């Protein structure tokens, strides 16, 4: 019997990361990283390749265990939770993978049904069908319902992955490099879709990216992840006006 | 230096495989069970392997009979051909050859499938979706392999003995009833039981090694290929090691 986790929905700070550190062998990727995410805001974590952005987001969702520090989501410290408790948090936190991570052996419908069936055990087929269609309509791909994921283009795969993330109606969405591998036009469409979804569902977003268009269009606040730390933070306009050479390097 | 590192990697592989196997027994066999995935895997692993296993078993029975005939004719015991072939097929050739074909087909497919899922983050996506990927992917496949291989071995043995019947009839005219009477008259419970029992272990080895290799795959598509390849190599070697141990045990038990 699963014990129900009481989620703190009153606090304005939905995610609090304190002194997060993670090493792989001698390589210390995150060094006492700190971040707070407020309800309804969209924060982009900007950093160069290999700076530990994906490690950070995987620590947040509980896929990687940090060496030190805490990650509180809705009042619960993620590294302290057991598997069942973590599942309850994950039902409220959507995750869009860099590689989309659509299940190759399943159709688009089955891909979307999978998290629904797993998290919401007592749900009728009629409700499942409606939620799948609604999620696909949100991303403009209702016609792909019975297609295999291999039949979709890169942009369509990203949209289906986003629909799968949305289907559980998460309160926080974590995006891991959402525009990687997409052409400029498709990237722009995906970013516009992310912004539209955030406004429609009032979600809180944490976006990991090194795409300047994504930073400019989707961020309320930008956090610079440099040398494993939160090096600088501010709005897009504040950050681009920074005189710090390490920050300026990103905008040259 | 190279020998030391080879020995180290061999011991590391064995240690990690042992831990993976312990994890299977500790977590994979506890409820809730992924029953529908298990049934799907039984279909994929068992039913879909049957044509290949059947064909190889048929050829094996036929060829074994044709190869044995001249030597047996030289000793004047050609009439004992059904008895000798049946004992060889049931006790040793059937289970081992079927398991090796099974390792080639299923071990590589599990290694490649799980490896590809690992490098494309599908296993992580499954975990985020509230599913224990170890139960869903590993436990279902290992159990399906463990239970389906003995069934395939039994069917393969039957097909093989039918191939042997055709082989016997190339040079002589032996009736169907006489052939099968000779086969069953010479087979005892002690021939069938050890062979049937060891095929469970063969199936388990193919399943757990394929899953271990795929689940721990890394380094992109190259890693997936390597996982599939080493899943076949390691499980094939394991089949011979298990066979060697099984023969020792049956010898001690007097079968």
Give the model confidence (pLDDT) of B22-33 as tens digits.
999 988 788 888
Tokens 């039981």 label which residue? B193
B116/A63 Cβ within 8 A: no
Give the model's pLDDT for residue A102: 92
Tokens 């995906």 label which residue? A190
Give the model's pLDDT for residue A243: 86
Three-class SS state of B226: helix
Give the model's pLDDT for residue B34: 86
From the CB of residue A50, how many other CB atoms can be counted at a distance below 10 Å?
A: 10
pLDDT digits (tens, 9 = 90+) for B169-182: 988 888 999 999 99
Which backbone phi and psi does A82 adopt, to 5 degrees? -85, 180
* A108 and A160 Cβ atoms separated by less than 8 Å: yes
Indicate the average pLDDT of chain B. 91
Give the model's pLDDT for residue A182: 85
Report the predicted TM-score, pTM, of the whole model to 2 decimal places.
Answer: 0.86
Please determine, for residue B161, whether its predicted confidence score (pLDDT) is greater than 90.
yes
- For residue B134, the enclosing domain spans 34-253
Give the model's pLDDT for residue B1: 57
A90/B128 Cβ within 8 A: yes
Long-range CB contacts (within 8 A, 24+) of B89-93 = B89/B60, B89/B61, B89/B64, B89/B157, B89/B160, B89/B161, B89/B164, B90/B157, B90/B187, B90/B191, B90/B192, B90/B195, B91/B191, B91/B194, B91/B195, B92/B195, B92/B243, B93/B60, B93/B64, B93/B160
Identify all chain B residues contacting A162, using CB atoms and an 8 Å cutoff: none
Taking residues B9-14, report their average pLDDT: 88
Between helix B189-215 and helix B2-23 the angle, nearest 10°, is 100
B84 found inside a domain: yes
- Of the candidates A83, A91, A101, which has its C-beta nearest B125's C-beta? A101
B122/A103 Cβ within 8 A: yes
- Of the candidates A90, A95, A101, which has its C-beta nearest B122's C-beta? A101
Specify the number of domains making up chain B: 1
* A88 and A118 Cβ atoms separated by less than 8 Å: no
Closest A-chain CA to B129: A115
- Of the candidates A83, A105, A114, which has its C-beta nearest B129's C-beta? A114
Dist. CA B215–CA A134, nearest whole Å: 34
B55 found inside a domain: yes
Nearest to B24 by CA among B141, B169, B177, B160: B141
- Of the candidates B120, B122, B130, which has its C-beta nearest A87's C-beta? B130
pLDDT digits (tens, 9 = 90+) for B208-250: 999 999 999 887 778 888 899 999 999 999 999 999 999 999 8
Give the model's pLDDT for residue A2: 57
* A97 and A161 Cβ atoms separated by less than 8 Å: yes
Give the model's pLDDT for residue B132: 87
Taking residues B167-194, report their average pLDDT: 90
Three-class SS state of B163: helix
Dist. CA B172–CA B194, nearest whole Å: 32
Strand intervals (E) in A47-128 = 68-73, 76-77, 93-96
B118 found inside a domain: yes
Three-class SS state of B228: helix
Closest B-chain CA to A116: B129
A119/B121 Cβ within 8 A: no
Identify all chain B residues contacting A61, using CB atoms and an 8 Å cutoff: 128
Q: What is the DSSP annotation of B46-88?
A: TGGGHHHHHHHHHHHHHHHHHHHHHHHHHTT-GGGHHHHHHHH
Look up residue A148 and give its DSSP letter.
B
Closest B-chain CA to A63: B124
B130/A102 Cβ within 8 A: no
Three-class SS state of A152: coil
Q: How far is CA B83 from CA B65, B67, B72, in A?
A: 11, 15, 12
* B94 and B160 Cβ atoms separated by less than 8 Å: yes
Going from N- to C-terminal start, the domains of chain A cover 13-81+171-179+204-252
Preceding peptide of B32 cis, ω within 30°: yes
The distance of A115 to chain B (nearest Cα, Å) reads 5
B29 found inside a domain: no
Q: How would you classify the pairing of strands A13-24 and A27-38?
A: antiparallel
Distance of alpha carbon A21 from its chain centroid, rounded? 20
Chains A–B, number of C-beta pairs less than 8 Å apart: 46
B129/A101 Cβ within 8 A: no
Tokens for B41, please give them: 């895997």
B114 found inside a domain: yes
Tokens for B177, please give them: 């009833």
In this structure, CATH architecture of domain A13-81+171-179+204-252 = 3-Layer(aba) Sandwich (3.40)
Please determine, for residue B202, whether its predicted confidence score (pLDDT) is greater than 90.
yes
- The list of chain A residues with pLDDT below 50 reads 1
Tokens for B158, please give them: 């039957």
Distance of alpha carbon B249 from its chain centroid, rounded? 19
Give the model's pLDDT for residue A249: 84
Dist. CA A144–CA A136, nearest whole Å: 8
Q: What residues contact A69, with CB distance under 8 A and at least 6 apart?
A: A17, A18, A19, A20, A21, A32, A33
Give the model's pLDDT for residue B4: 86
Dist. CA B178–CA A146, nearest whole Å: 56
Chain A interface test: which of B125, B136, B140 (most A C-beta within 10 Å): B125
A104/B125 Cβ within 8 A: no
The partner residues of A37 in beta bridges, in order of sequence, read: A15
Tokens for B155, please give them: 């069917």
A114/B131 Cβ within 8 A: yes
Taking residues B133-149, report their average pLDDT: 94
């Amino acid at each position: 019997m699963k014990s129900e986790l009481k989620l703190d929905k009153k606090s304005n700070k939905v995610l609090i990361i304190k002194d997060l550190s993670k090493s792989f062998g001698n390589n210390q990727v995150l060094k006492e990283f700190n971040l707070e995410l407020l309800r309804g805001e969209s924060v982009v974590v900007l950093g160069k390749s290999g700076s530990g952005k994906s490690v950070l987001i995987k620590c947040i969702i509980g896929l990687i265990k940090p060496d030190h520090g805490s990650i509180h989501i809705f009042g619960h410290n993620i590294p302290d939770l057991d598997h069942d408790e973590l599942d309850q948090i994950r039902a409220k936190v959507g995750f869009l993978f860099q590689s989309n991570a659509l299940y190759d052996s399943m159709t688009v419908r089955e891909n979307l049904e999978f998290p629904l069936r797993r998290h919401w055990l007592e749900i009728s087929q009629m409700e499942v069908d409606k939620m799948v269609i609604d999620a696909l309509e949100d991303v403009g791909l209702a016609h792909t319902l019975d297609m295999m994921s291999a039949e979709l283009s890169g942009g369509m795969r990203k949209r289906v992955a986003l629909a799968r993330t949305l289907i559980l109606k998460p309160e926080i969405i974590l995006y891991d490099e959402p525009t990687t591998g997409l052409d400029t036009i498709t990237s722009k469409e995906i970013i516009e879709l992310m912004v539209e979804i955030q406004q429609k569902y009032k979600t809180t977003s944490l976006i990991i990216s090194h795409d300047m268009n994504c930073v400019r269009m989707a961020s309320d606040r930008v956090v610079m992840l440099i040398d494993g730390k939160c090096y600088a933070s501010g709005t897009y306009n504040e950050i681009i006006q920074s005189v710090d050479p390490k920050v300026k390097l990103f905008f040259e | 230096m190279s020998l030391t590192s080879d020995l180290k990697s061999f011991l590391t592989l064995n240690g990690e495989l042992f831990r993976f196997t312990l994890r299977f027994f500790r977590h994979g066999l506890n409820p809730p069970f992924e029953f529908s995935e298990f049934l799907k895997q039984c279909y994929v692993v068992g039913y879909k392997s049957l044509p290949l296993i059947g064909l190889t078993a048929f050829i094996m029975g036929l060829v074994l009979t044709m190869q044995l005939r001249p030597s047996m004719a030289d000793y004047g015991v050609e009439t004992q051909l059904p008895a000798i072939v049946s004992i060889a097929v049931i006790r040793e050739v059937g289970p081992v050859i079927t398991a090796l074909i099974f390792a080639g087909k299923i071990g590589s497919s599990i290694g490649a499938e799980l490896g590809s899922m690992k490098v494309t983050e599908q296993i992580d996506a499954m975990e985020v979706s509230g599913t224990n990927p170890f139960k869903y992917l590993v436990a279902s496949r290992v159990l399906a392999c463990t239970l389906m291989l003995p069934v395939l071995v039994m069917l393969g043995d039957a097909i093989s003995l039918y191939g042997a019947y055709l082989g016997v009839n190339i040079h002589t005219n032996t009736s169907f009833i006489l052939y099968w009477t000779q086969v069953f008259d010479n087979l005892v419970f002690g021939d069938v039981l050890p062979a049937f029992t060891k095929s469970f272990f063969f199936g388990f080895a193919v399943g757990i090694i394929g899953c271990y290799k795929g689940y721990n795959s890394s380094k992109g598509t190259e890693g997936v290929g390597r996982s599939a390849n080493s899943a076949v190599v390691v499980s094939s070697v394991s089949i011979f090691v298990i066979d060697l141990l099984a023969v020792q045990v049956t010898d001690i038990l007097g079968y």
